[in-house]
Amino acid sequence: MVPGLVFLFRPLSGLIDSFIGKLQTTRVRRMWNRKRRELVLVLVLALPLFTFPLGWLPRSWAHFRYDCSVPLPEIILAGSAVLGGTRLLRKALGGDTAMDLPAFPFKQRVIVPVLAVLASAIVSTRFSEHSYFGIGLLPRLCGNAAIFFLAANAPRESTGRIRQLWIVVAVMVAANGLVRLKFEPEFLSTLGNWDFLGVYLAASLVIGASVGGTWPVLGNLVLLAAMLFCRSRGAWLALGAVAIFWFVGFGDRILRRWLARAIVVTLALAIVSLLGRSCVREQWQSDVRPPIWKATISMIAARPLLGHGFGTYVAVYPQYRLPQYFLRRKATNVTDHAHNELLEVAAEQGLVGLAATLWLWGMAVWCGLRASRQTDGTERGATLGLLAAMLVFMLHSLVDVDVRYLPNQSLLWLLMGLLVGRGTAPSDAAPFTFRSKTLPWCAAAVCLILGIGIISSAVVHPMAADWLDRRARLAEERGDMGAAADYASRALVLEPFRLSTRYLLAGALARSLDMPARQMAIDQCLQIEEFAPDYADTTYNLGELYMAANRVTSALPRLRRAVEINPYNVDRRVALAVALRDVGQKEEAMQQLDRALHLQPDSQSARALRRDIQQERAP
């Protein structure tokens, strides 16, 4: 059977050889097969600059420019699978059953933590009540793991070029943001969020400090100037914490004795704590993070072992959100991250996932420290620079935006891989030989099918859905609700579990005066409730839609729940009072209005409704 297949595939072999021969003349083939260093350099360049390709355009030219992203981890994963399958197919057609493995030493202490993280995500998804969210995110996690092993497999002598390119790209990002400050109100540059930008600049600062020379110093001045315009407190805290760690552990050129450095740091922290105590207390009482952390801890307690499921935080968190959250500054109707990576991991993947994540982080830090002890001079500075940059990302994720978003998510995995590669002894991997001649064919087919499937489901569909979602928001902005609903519906055909897009569709349909359209809006809200109970203002909007359709009995429980979610919202209490009056519960309606007037004494709607009810109750 196998000789017959070989005979049938001889023409295909010629085509593949011709295609590979052409591909070998391109940079991509050279990067993948012979120069892994260049592929790492491409990632260092592309992740900050081209994850949001529309981010280069001015805001006046491209609204919602950060809604379209390029999923580079998924592209790396799909490319690895396709090229691996092609290589296996060539060997099978040539009758060769030996498969050369990468030169990276797959030792237990290196690969097991990564596999543990992947396994915890898969298991939590399997036993989740909202598994559809995790399934869509698994390719990205696997893509980040591929970036990790790619970086760990990069030649050690390439670290210098990697750091130099990193600084060049960071200066480009910073300069881009500084120039655009004249025309735009926010300092975002190409990363789409000032917290993403702030931590990236902070990590780049420590890498620049490790390079040495004149131009890195000038570049660091540009980065520092850019950080001054960032409103990311977490980036400054992470940078300060890393500076303290460096001074205590490696500042022997300033103070030779370790104990003296520790005493200096202790005294400095004590002084800062005394001076900033009132500021910390004020932030704790007014910032959104403390109530989010408390609610996330309640999520963890509800399902401590395996969590609620990978990628489900945005869907499950509203059921645990504290009402007091809405009294804090910057409170929003959607909370899509916990402002603490480890808490979010524990909430989604349970204590098992938390242990796996800590294991992986600890292994990367241990490899970095080990590599720094084994080298000296320039090499030691390079290792410490990479280690400090990785710690900046990690520490920032504990107090600010989690490392769940591109590009910083993949940059952290890349830094961990580089440190693991430097902290692990190199060895030559022996070629792997298939024991059966049919196994290469099967492995090639699996790799090719997997790669094509990832390209379709995790690259093409999300990018097309991003573009359609953006066009829907542009149509909504200009008041064309019909076009907005059409584009959003087309996006949901590709990505049916995009909550924000379905919410947009429901809103566009609800603004129509056509009753069938409003019924469709109700159906969309019910679908959102099934996917993610209490998501955004869906519960309240559903109650309002039922009231507009004269379905008061259906509206009443939704409006009650909306008031439970946010008891400090006057409009919700007034809407509930209207529904209560319509069903004859005027006493409770008056109680709701009294509470609304207590919250906002000058509320005209509450006063008018209260006056109407009093007139109805008058003899």
End-to-end C-alpha distance for the chain, whole angstroms: 96
Give me the long-range contacts of 314-320 (CB less than 8 A, separation at least 24). 314/133, 314/499, 314/532, 314/535, 315/130, 315/133, 315/499, 315/531, 315/532, 315/533, 315/535, 316/130, 316/347, 316/532, 317/347, 318/532, 318/533, 318/534, 318/535, 318/565, 319/533, 319/534, 320/295, 320/296
Comparing 117-121, 490-494, 547-551, the range with the smallest average pLDDT is: 547-551
Q: What is the pLDDT of residue 604?
A: 92
Taking all residues of the chain, what is their mean pLDDT, rounded to a whole number? 87
For 354-397, write each residue's pLDDT tens digit.
999 999 999 999 999 998 888 777 788 889 999 999 999 999 99
What's the CA gap between 12 and 135, in Å, rounded?
34
Q: What is the pLDDT of residue 1?
A: 40
* Burial (0-12, 13-18, 19+ Cβ within 10 Å), 616: exposed
What's the CA gap between 340 and 357, in Å, rounded?
13
All residues at 6 or more sequence positions from 100 whose CB lies less than 8 Å from its CB, including other chains: 429, 431, 432
Cross-strand pairs, 98: 433
For 160-169, write each residue's pLDDT tens digit.
889 999 999 9
Query: Do the bridges between strand 98-99 and strand 432-433 make them parallel or antiparallel, or are there none, so unpaired?
Result: antiparallel
What's the CA gap between 231 and 403, in Å, rounded?
17
Q: Look at phi and psi of residue 99 and say left if phi exceeds 0, alpha if psi is from -120 to 50, else beta.
A: beta
Q: What is the pLDDT of residue 175?
A: 93
Comparing 202-211, 261-270, 435-444, 540-549, the range with the smallest average pLDDT is: 435-444
Helix and strand counts by DSSP (H, E) for the chain: 27, 2
What's the CA gap between 241 and 162, in Å, rounded?
24
Instruction: Tell me the average pLDDT across 495-518.
Output: 91
* Burial (0-12, 13-18, 19+ Cβ within 10 Å), 376: exposed
Q: What is the pLDDT of residue 14?
A: 46
CB 390 within 8 A of CB 442: no
Q: In Å, how far from its chain's centre is CA 599? A: 37
What is the percent of the chain with per-residue pLDDT over 70, rounded to a whole number? 89
Cross-strand pairs, 338: none
Tokens coding 362: 């600890």
- How sure is the predictor about 288, in pLDDT bands with cuts at 50, 70 and 90? very high
Cross-strand pairs, 432: 99
Tokens coding 190: 């190409």
| Level-2 CATH architecture, domain 459-617 | Alpha Horseshoe (1.25)
Comparing 136-140, 381-385, 413-417, 436-440, the range with the smallest average pLDDT is: 436-440
- How sure is the predictor about 156, in pLDDT bands with cuts at 50, 70 and 90? confident
Distance set, CA 201 to CA 392, 408, 476 (Å): 10, 11, 34
What's the CA gap between 241 and 388, in Å, rounded?
10
Q: What is the pLDDT of residue 5?
A: 36
Cross-strand pairs, 99: 432
- The answer to whether residue 2 scores a pLDDT higher than 50 is no
All residues at 6 or more sequence positions from 417 whose CB lies less than 8 Å from its CB, including other chains: 147, 148, 149, 150, 151, 152, 153, 154
Q: In Å, how far from its chain's centre is CA 538? A: 24
What's the CA gap between 593 and 508, in Å, rounded?
30
Cross-strand pairs, 433: 98
Q: What is the pLDDT of residue 614?
A: 87
- Residue reference for tokens 């992203």: 69
Element (H, E) at 296: helix 289-302
- 18 or 351, higher pLDDT: 351
pTM: predicted TM-score of the whole model, two decimal places: 0.90
Please name the residue ranges forming H helices in 312-399: 313-316, 341-374, 377-396
- How sure is the predictor about 22, in pLDDT bands with cuts at 50, 70 and 90? very low
- 251 or 562, higher pLDDT: 562
Closest residue by Cα to residue 331 from 339, 276, 238: 339
For 67-116, write each residue's pLDDT tens digit.
999 999 999 999 989 988 888 887 777 766 555 555 444 566 788 899 99
Domain ranges of the chain: 35-70+101-423, 459-617
For 580-605, write each residue's pLDDT tens digit.
999 999 999 999 999 999 999 999 99
